[in-house]
Amino acid sequence: MKNTAAALTEAIYYILLALQEPLHGYGIMQKTSTMSKGRLVLSAGTLYGAISNLLEKGWILPCGESSDSDGRRKLYQITDKGQEVLLAEFERLEELVENGRMNIKK
């Protein structure tokens, strides 16, 4: 399925990518930073604003509470709809990279 929606922001892309496994907010912050080699550092405000947006769109869902704390950390997971959006963005990014490889003269 082709996604005709606007491109995802880098933060949204990495959050969805991080949620291939259930994580709480702090875990998402850590994983996105690790995946981007420290280039993307999400503030709490940015993260929780994005989570609110993703919940509204139905791209993620809460899935319980973390067992590694006192139960205050909500866990989130990507939905099938969110996975479709992520895959469409991944394919769009692959196309951009491939076109760059074919057309940029080094």
Alpha-carbon gap, residue 79 to 34, rounded angstroms: 23
| Residues 1-60: tens digit of each pLDDT | 454 568 999 999 999 999 999 999 999 999 999 999 999 999 999 999 999 999 999 999
What is the reported pTM?
Answer: 0.87
Amino acid 32 reads T
The total number of structural domains that make up the chain: 1
CATH code, domain with 53? 1.10.10.10
Domain assignment of residue 5, yes or no: no
Instruction: Give the structural domain span for 53.
Output: 10-103
Beta strand spans in the chain (E): 23-24, 60-65, 74-78
Domain assignment of residue 83, yes or no: yes
Domain assignment of residue 54, yes or no: yes
Q: What is residue 8's DSSP assignment? A: P
| Residues 57-90: tens digit of each pLDDT | 999 999 987 666 556 789 999 999 999 999 999 9
Domain assignment of residue 1, yes or no: no
